[in-house]
Amino acid sequence: MKCPICGREVLPGGNFCDRHSAAYRSLLEGFKKWGKAMKIGWREYLKALVDNPNTGQWVKEVARHLAEEKA
């Protein structure tokens, strides 16, 4: 199976390649903190990550993918 974002091989039992899986885990951990502190929803969080110039490229790619997937 291929990563839906970059086409690399997906990790066993996962949905993304190793790089995007790490970014996804980071994104989820961040949401636990952001969601609680800022009282924002998942979609707002994804948009904030994409719009933030300090967000890493891999995380932005995962956030865009998730936002489009749910649209």
Tokens read off for 39: 């009282």
**Alpha-carbon Rg of the chain, whole angstroms?**
12
Q: Dump pLDDT digits (tens) for 8-65.
A: 999 899 999 999 999 999 999 999 998 888 889 999 999 999 999 999 999 999 999 9
Neighbours of 42 (CB within 10 A): 12
Encoded tokens for 33: 């903190």
Q: Tokens 């998942």 map to which residue?
A: 42
Tell me, what's the pLDDT at 9?
96
Q: pTM for the full model?
A: 0.89
